[in-house]
Amino acid sequence: MSKKTLLIEDNAQNSYLATYLLEKNGYHVVHAADGLKAIAMAKSDSFDLILLDIQLPSMDGYSVARSLREIKSLVSIPIIAVTSYAMVGDKEKAVAAGCNGYIEKPIDPDRFISDIEKIVKNSTSKEKM
């Protein structure tokens, strides 16, 4: 069974690489190029995982994460920020907005899937506590 993943990314190259790596590892990827579309999609469909760029058109990823966390069906779904924002405090800001974890761009193809799975495992083990 593949994990249905909502990839919120406006950059075509980043989207292509993430999709390739995810699909190669058994994930089913659905795309949204901006936060407003992603929120609408999340309200009408179900996902097992959300990967979220922080720098998006129309609304930033922090606002998107907060909005997604207000959707009852997504409360326990892992949201992972995948972003080039790598300054001190950016990871904490993403987590405060509702993300379960943070992966820096550029994506490391050798670690991307294992980083995702580690964050998902940590987020689901925290829910059981």
Return per-residue pLDDT of the chain as tens, 129 residues.
Answer: 569 999 999 999 999 999 999 999 999 999 999 999 999 999 999 999 999 999 999 899 999 999 999 999 999 999 999 988 777 788 899 999 999 999 999 999 999 999 999 999 998 776 544
- Among the listed residues 19, 20, 22, 17, the one whose alpha carbon sits nearest the alpha carbon of residue 107: 17
Instruction: Return all residues near 122 (Cβ < 8 A) that are at least 6 apart.
Output: 100, 101
Do the beta carbons of residue 6 and residue 49 sit within 8 Å? yes
Reply yes or no on domain 3-123 having CATH 3.60.20.10: no
Q: What is the pTM of this model?
A: 0.93
Domain residue extents for the chain: 3-123
